């Protein structure tokens, strides 16, 4: 590369590098530095205080765990992941496969995908209505089934508020899962399925022994993207419960907001932001590895 080409390349890259430095790199470095500053000194006290906080609305981990929430935002996020990831993977895969052979599948897919296109605030309001005892479908179903504990408004009780948010988020994210699995199913050679049918395989055997293994790369992406989405989730929690009642539905992003906007403790908010970013980087690293591996192949 001659001197003129190097200058052209530098001039081409300079504007995006400047924008990236101002709006991405500088805020990240500033947040990390801010998280280590406490009373004018450089220390880990902000991290210690946010990790040992015992007020439910700000706690990351409560030391005294009860059978029902609040347990602390970090545990709430973990429970959210443990429930939503298997649900999103299984429902997404099954719906994408079954709806290919069902009449009226476009309407069902449109309903599922609606959660993806709605703004977060609107989605939050829909979730509130879904679990309201007067108009919500879930309380009404359990009222018919004779389960009084679940026939009330889920979002105003500590025992059910977190579960309502998790179930609502599964509906919101299911459209993403179904879309990826539908694209993955299109990439499976039809000759493979036809050969299995000729050999006498049942639909269940085809699904379990051909479809599921062939969709393994898609499943990995769905799992990683769902984990990252759950770790960053904020808007529906803010709209539906605000982290309550009594801190029973707080999440990491909500705790960060509490420190930043409610109590104006910016250094602690930065500490929570760094913890959240580090947790998000783990699945993000594996996702980037998969993308780069796919490009090399």
Question: Residue 122 in contact with residue 33, Cβ under 8 Å?
Answer: no
CB count within 10 Å of CB 112 equals 22
**The two three-digit tokens of residue 118, written as one number:** 């709605």
Give me the chain's average pLDDT, please.
87
User: What are the start-end ranges of the H helices in the chain?
Assistant: 3-20, 26-35, 45-52, 73-98, 105-117, 120-130, 137-145, 161-186, 190-198, 203-206, 212-214, 216-232, 235-240, 252-257, 266-296
Question: Which of the four pLDDT bands, split at 50, 70 and 90, describes residue 31?
Answer: very high
- pLDDT per position as a tens digit, 15-30: 889 999 999 899 999 9
Question: Which of the four pLDDT bands, split at 50, 70 and 90, describes residue 295?
Answer: low
DSSP 208: I
Total number of domains in the chain: 1
d(CA 42, CA 241): 36
Residue 193 placed within a domain: yes
d(CA 41, CA 35): 11
Residue 160 placed within a domain: yes
Residue 3 placed within a domain: no
Question: Residue 112 in contact with residue 174, Cβ under 8 Å?
Answer: yes
- pLDDT per position as a tens digit, 110-165: 777 777 778 888 888 889 999 988 888 888 998 888 888 888 889 899 999 999 99
CB count within 10 Å of CB 188 equals 13
CATH at residue 254: 1.10.3720.10
**The two three-digit tokens of residue 18, written as one number:** 């400047």
Residue 24 placed within a domain: no
Q: Note down the domain range covering 85.
A: 43-295
Give the per-residue pLDDT at 19.
92
Nearest CA to 126 out of 155, 166, 168, 157 is that of 168
Residue 27 placed within a domain: no
Residue 207 placed within a domain: yes
Nearest CA to 270 out of 75, 57, 47 is that of 47
Its pTM surpasses 0.85: yes
């Amino acid at each position: 590369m001659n001197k003129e080409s190097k200058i052209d390349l530098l001039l081409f890259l300079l504007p995006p590098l400047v924008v990236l430095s101002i709006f991405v790199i500088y805020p990240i470095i500033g947040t990390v530095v801010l998280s280590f500053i406490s009373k004018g000194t450089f220390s880990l006290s902000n991290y210690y205080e946010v990790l040992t906080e015992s007020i439910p609305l700000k706690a990351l981990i409560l030391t005294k765990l009860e059978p029902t929430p609040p347990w602390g935002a970090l545990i709430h996020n973990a429970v959210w992941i443990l429930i939503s990831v298997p649900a999103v993977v299984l429902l997404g895969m099954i719906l994408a496969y079954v709806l290919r052979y069902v009449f009226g599948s476009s309407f069902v897919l449109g309903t599922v995908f609606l959660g993806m296109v709605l703004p977060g605030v609107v989605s939050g309001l829909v979730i509130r209505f879904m679990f309201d005892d007067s108009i919500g479908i879930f309380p009404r179903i359990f009222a018919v089934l004779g389960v009084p504990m679940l026939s009330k408004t889920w979002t105003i009780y500590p025992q059910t508020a977190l579960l309502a948010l998790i179930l609502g988020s599964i509906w919101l994210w299911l459209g993403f899962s179904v879309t990826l699995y539908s694209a993955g199913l299109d990439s499976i050679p039809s000759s493979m399925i036809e050969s299995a049918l000729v050999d006498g395989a049942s639909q269940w055997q085809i699904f379990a022994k051909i479809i599921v293994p062939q969709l393994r790369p898609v499943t990995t992406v769905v799992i990683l993207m769902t984990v990252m989405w759950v770790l960053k989730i904020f808007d529906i929690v803010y709209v539906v419960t605000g982290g309550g009642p009594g801190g029973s539905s707080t999440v990491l992003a909500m705790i960060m907001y509490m420190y930043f906007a409610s109590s104006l403790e910016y250094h602690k908010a930065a500490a929570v932001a760094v913890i959240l970013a580090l947790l998000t980087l783990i699945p993000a690293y594996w996702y980037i590895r998969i993308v780069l591996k796919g490009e090399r192949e």
